[in-house]
Amino acid sequence: MEWTSIIAIFTLFWVLSAFLVMPFGLRTVEEEGHARPPGTVESAPAQFRPGRIVLRATILALALFGLFYANYVYGWIGIENINLFGSPPEAAG
């Protein structure tokens, strides 16, 4: 696998991971026990920490990419193992 492919695939895993981990650990202003400032959405976080999200997303992306790359090298699951529609019909004749 070329290094450009590795970077592109890892980036896709990272973006997916960022969206997956973003809602975890966030608390709203009202959950913190404070009054909501005017003009603020109810679901807005009280303390948004992008560094924590980046760290969590990076760790998850490394784990997912590690599994992907290990499957690429060792061939655990290939396209021939994915059968969405059952066995093919028998050829007539």
Range of the domain at 61: 3-34+43-75
Residue 18 banded pLDDT, cuts 50, 70, 90? very high
Ranges 4-8, 30-34, 38-42, most confident: 4-8
Phi and psi at residue 45, in whole multiples of 5°?
-70, 150
In a domain, 21, yes or no: yes
Is residue 8 a part of any domain in this protein? Answer: yes
Tokens coding 71 = 């499957």
Decide if 86 is inside a domain: no
Average pLDDT over residues 75-92: 78
Looking at the domain assignment, is residue 90 inside a domain? no
Which amino acid makes up residue 69? Y
- 63 lies in some domain: yes
Within a domain: 20: yes
Report the number of distinct structural domains present in the chain. 1
pLDDT of 87 strictly over 80: no
By three-state DSSP, how is residue 80 classified?
A: helix
Where do the H-state alpha helices sit in the chain?
3-21, 50-74
Residue 29 lies in a domain: yes
Enter the tokens of residue 68. 């992907």
Q: Is 14 part of any domain?
A: yes
- Rounded to an integer, the average pLDDT of 72-91 is 82
Number of residues written out for the chain: 93
Residue 59: its pLDDT value, please?
98
* Percent of the chain with pLDDT strictly greater than 90: 59
